[in-house]
Structure 1
Amino acid sequence: MRDSLLIVLYDQQCGLCDRSAAWIAHRNSQGRLLLAPNQGVTANIAGEPEGGENTGLVAWQGSRRFVGAPALAAALKALGGIWSVAGWLLDALPSPLANGAYRLIAARRQRISTACGWVARFKADLD
């Protein structure tokens, strides 16, 4: 996993997702991942659905596609250091638990964004 670049697609129209992408970008000091909106050209080239994946976060590493909690775990592991440990711990959780928690938050991400006053303004690495 460390050897190939991870492309992380996020919902650019969601304040929570946008803040999360900015958080990841700030910690991506080793350049192991690239961020792109899941409504952009990169997502279209990757074969993502028109308008983006409705689960919020998708990651591609080579031909492997991760969605939801596995995508978040892959991004954390790509960051390295303590974040890598967090990614491995997330991967160690039973899939129904990790995916269920992720889907619970993802389904409410617009309401969370509105309640926190978060608007999308992060500029991704790719379009």
Structure 2
Amino acid sequence: MNKSTTVDQTVQESRNEVVPSPVSQTESQEANSGLGVAVDKPVLFFDGVCGLCNSSVDFAIARDRQGRLLYSPLQGETAAALLSEQDIQNIDTVIFRTPKEGRLYRRSAAIVRVLWLLGFPWNVCGWLLWLIPLPIRNLGYRMVAGSRYRLFGKHETCRMPTPEERTRFLP
């Protein structure tokens, strides 16, 4: 593989990090009503059986005291209603979905946005991470994601929220 091919692939991957949701506004509203809950907050979609992903969700919940973020496993009903089939099949990434325009952020871009929501000092960490060019951030993300099951374990079932957390989790 020559250098230009590698650069072209990196540029294409960068373009795929931030894309509008393939689900229209009307479809999103229909999906929300079908779920029985309006998705009026940002949603973090994660691999529900991944040990690292579950630990990351625990980390975010503990620091998001104002409850600004909702959580949903990629294996759940909400993901099926709001994400494309390709996003659901690609469980090696986290996806951050904005509430109004349904914009999707993947991999390290999603992590940065979650850190920004968590407030000080985590928003500063998000800004520092944002300074790293996207292809380099995502290279690090992919290295960890590729070995996350081996390093952090894989559960048989998705994470079950505690009674206190239930209002912050979507099916």
What TM-score do the two structures reach when normalised by structure 1?
0.85
Which of 99, 104, 110 lines up with 1:65 in the alignment?
Answer: 104
> Which residue of the partner structure matches residue 74 of structure 2?
38
Matched AA of 2:115:
L
- Structure 1 residues 11-26: aligned runs within 5 Å: 11-26=47-62
What is the CA distance between 1:74 and its match in structure 2? 0.6
Q: Is the 8 A contact 2:74 2:91 kept in 1?
A: no
In structure 2, the CA distance between the partners of 1:80 and 1:11, relative to structure 1 (3 Å rule), is same
Pick one of 42, 47, 61 that aligns with 2:83. Answer: 47
Look up the equivalent residue of 1:53 and give its one-letter code.
N
Give the 5 Å matches for 1:1-127. Answer: 5-49=41-85, 51-62=88-99, 63-114=102-153, 119=155, 121-123=159-161, 125-127=169-171
| Residues in 1 aligned to 2:83 and 2:95: alpha-carbon distance in whole angstroms | 12
Q: Give the RMSD, CA atoms, in angstroms.
A: 1.9
- Percent identity reads 31
Contact 2:48 2:54 in 1 (8 A): yes
Secondary structure, aligned partner of 1:43? helix
Give 1 or 2: higher strand fraction.
1
Distance 2:61 2:84 in 1: 22
Pairwise CA distance, 1:56: 2.8
> Which secondary structure does the structure 2 equivalent of 1:81 belong to?
coil
One-letter code aligned to 1:32: R
What is the deviation of 1:126? 1.2
Unaligned 5+ runs, structure 1: none
Structure 1 runs of 4+ with >6 Å offset:
none
Once the 2 structures are TM-superposed, how far is the Cα of residue 26 of structure 1 from its aligned partner? 1.1
* One-letter amino acid matched to 2:143: L
